[in-house]
């Protein structure tokens, strides 16, 4: 188990994070520090004023701020420090394996080379492994609200270094940008040996989840909460044990209580659910905080919370030997926390 997280709490429960946008871990203090270092003027007078603006009425309003803050990310060191700060926070919340999303087009469009981005994030991933024992790696996301040609160009631009990536994903504004648009680029990514995931069914309809499965051939669905609108899809997801990387606090902040309450319904439907933080700097909590919140609000039992952590390990792209190690760490945690009142322990 991580020596950085309190053993006697949910934060200490070993877990994998499978739905985390590294640019969504950009805390206001670091935004200001990098803006100063890079000589970039921010349209905010203080960290507090920027933090005050971290409130949204939906995905697109969040994305506006998410892309605005990224403007200060310029150098390999900036990406390294952004990711290292996440790994340190994640380690304190029991994360032992993290497959992190990044949005290269949001940086190359600003003149930052994709190699600068991948170099910084990869160096952080290597240091997180050597200093914190966190395994995992990088999932490169295509921005679905940009031309498909841009996704093809982005993929070809990393063909020489696919060994630095785990897989590809699809994110940004979902409504009006169906997965089917990206079938060819996903087929090319598979040819390159990359794993395949995609955001679908967050604000887009359940049909987008079908398309991601059938046309993109994804192995996991990111969010997927609107799958509940289609009982045939729920049956398919359950029968085929397709992992859903659900983000409760993100759903709450962007979709309100209806979206937030999808989690217990998905669990009740017998789906293969994992719990993740999505963009923790913006949505009020890292992955351990998500576990704490769903335990408090939904009254999930310790055994159910453990199952969610086990799901995150099994649904990961880690090698089987690493999965066995992490499942053994979870068993160790159970031994230490058998039947304890989790909410009483912080």
How many Å apart are CA 208 and CA 218, to the nearest integer? 12
Do β-strands 220-223 and 195-200 pair in parallel, antiparallel, or remain unpaired? parallel
The reply to whether 17 sits near Zn ion by the rule CB under 5 A is no
Q: How far is the CB of 34 from ligand HPA (least distance, A)?
A: 19
202 catalytic? Reply is yes
Q: How far is the CB of 312 from Zn ion (least distance, A)?
A: 15
Residue 122's binding partner among Zn ion, ligand HPA, none (Cβ under 5 to 8 angstroms by kind) is none
Q: How far is the CB of 171 from Zn ion (least distance, A)?
A: 6
Q: Which helix (H) or strand (E) holds 298?
A: helix 287-298
Q: For the sheet containing 244-246, what is the strand order?
A: 15-17, 95-102, 135-143, 167-171, 195-200, 220-223, 244-246, 273-275
Q: How far is the CB of 32 from ligand HPA (least distance, A)?
A: 21
Q: Which is nearer to ligand HPA, 19 or 89 (CB)?
A: 19
Q: Which residues are annotated as a binding site for Zn(2+)?
A: 19, 21, 199, 278
Q: Which is nearer to ligand HPA, 105 or 250 (CB)?
A: 250
| Lookup: tokens for 164 | 């630095």
The reply to whether 278 sits near Zn ion by the rule CB under 5 A is yes
Catalytic residue among 81, 202, 211, 329: 202
How many Å apart are CA 134 and CA 126, to the nearest integer? 9
Burial class (CB in 10 A: 0-12, 13-18, 19+), 284: middle
The reply to whether 172 sits near ligand HPA by the rule CB under 6 A is yes
At residue 219, the 3 state secondary structure works out as coil
How many Å apart are CA 106 and CA 276, to the nearest integer? 22
How many Å apart are CA 208 and CA 174, to the nearest integer? 9
The reply to whether 337 sits near ligand HPA by the rule CB under 6 A is no
The reply to whether 279 sits near ligand HPA by the rule CB under 6 A is yes
The reply to whether 171 sits near ligand HPA by the rule CB under 6 A is yes
Q: How far is the CB of 317 from ligand HPA (least distance, A)?
A: 19
Q: Which residues are annotated as a binding site for substrate?
A: 279
Using CA atoms in the order 30, 36, 41, 43, what is the torsion angle rounded to 10 degrees? 30
Stretch that binds Zn ion, among 81-89, 183-191, 251-259, 274-282 (CB under 5 A): 274-282
Q: Which residues are annotated as a binding site?
A: 19, 21, 199, 278-279
- Picking from 140, 166, 175, the residue whose alpha carbon sits closest to that of residue 23 is 140
Q: In this chain, which of 24, 201, 224, 243 binds ligand HPA, going by CB under 6 A?
A: 24
Q: In this chain, which of 4, 21, 97, 107 binds ligand HPA, going by CB under 6 A?
A: 21
Question: What residue number has its CB nearest to ligand HPA?
Answer: 171
At residue 46, the 3 state secondary structure works out as coil
Q: In this chain, which of 227, 250, 277, 292 binds ligand HPA, going by CB under 6 A?
A: 250
Q: Which is nearer to ligand HPA, 99 or 278 (CB)?
A: 278
The reply to whether 253 sits near ligand HPA by the rule CB under 6 A is no
The reply to whether 27 sits near Zn ion by the rule CB under 5 A is no
**C-alpha distances in angstroms, 260 versus 20, 173, 248, 283?**
17, 19, 5, 12
The reply to whether 295 sits near ligand HPA by the rule CB under 6 A is no
320 contacts: CB under 8 Å, gap ≥ 6: none
Active site residues: 202
Chain residues binding Zn ion by CB under 5 A are 278
Chain residues binding ligand HPA by CB under 6 A are 21, 24, 59, 66, 171-172, 199, 202, 250, 278-279
């Amino acid at each position: 188990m991580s020596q950085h997280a309190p053993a006697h709490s949910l934060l200490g429960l070993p877990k994998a994070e499978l739905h985390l946008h590294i640019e969504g871990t950009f805390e206001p203090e670091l935004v200001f520090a990098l803006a100063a270092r890079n000589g970039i003027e921010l349209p905010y007078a203080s960290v507090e004023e920027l933090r005050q603006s971290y409130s949204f009425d939906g995905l697109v309003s969040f994305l506006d701020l998410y892309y605005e803050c990224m403007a200060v990310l310029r150098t390999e060191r900036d990406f390294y420090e952004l990711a290292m700060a996440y790994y340190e926070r994640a380690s304190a919340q029991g994360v032992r394996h993290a497959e992190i999303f990044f949005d290269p087009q949001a940086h190359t469009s600003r003149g930052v080379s994709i190699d600068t981005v991948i170099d910084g994030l990869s160096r952080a991933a290597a240091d997180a492994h050597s200093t914190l024992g966190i395994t995992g790696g990088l999932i490169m996301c295509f921005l679905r609200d940009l031309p498909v040609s841009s996704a093809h160009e982005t993929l070809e631009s990393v063909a020489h270094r696919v060994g630095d990536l785990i897989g590809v994903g699809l994110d940004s504004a979902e409504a009006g940008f169906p997965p089917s648009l990206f079938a060819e680029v996903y087929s090319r990514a598979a040819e390159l040996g990359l794993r395949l995931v995609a955001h679908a069914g967050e604000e887009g309809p359940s049909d987008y989840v079908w398309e991601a499965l059938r046309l993109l051939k994804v192995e996991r669905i990111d969010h997927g909460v609107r799958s509940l609108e289609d009982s045939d899809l729920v049956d398919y997801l359950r029968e085929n044990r397709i992992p859903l990387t659900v983000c409760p606090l993100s759903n709450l902040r962007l979709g309100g209580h209806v979206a937030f309450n999808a989690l217990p319904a998905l669990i009740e439907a017998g789906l293969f659910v994992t719990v993740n933080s999505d963009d923790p700097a913006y949505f009020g909590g890292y992955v351990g905080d998500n576990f704490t919140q769903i335990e408090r609000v939904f009254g999930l039992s310790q055994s159910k919370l453990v199952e969610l952590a086990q799901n995150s390990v099994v649904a990961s792209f880690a090698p089987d030997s690493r999965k066995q190690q992490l499942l053994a760490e979870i068993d160790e945690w159970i031994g230490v926390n058998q039947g304890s009142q989790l909410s009483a322990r912080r």
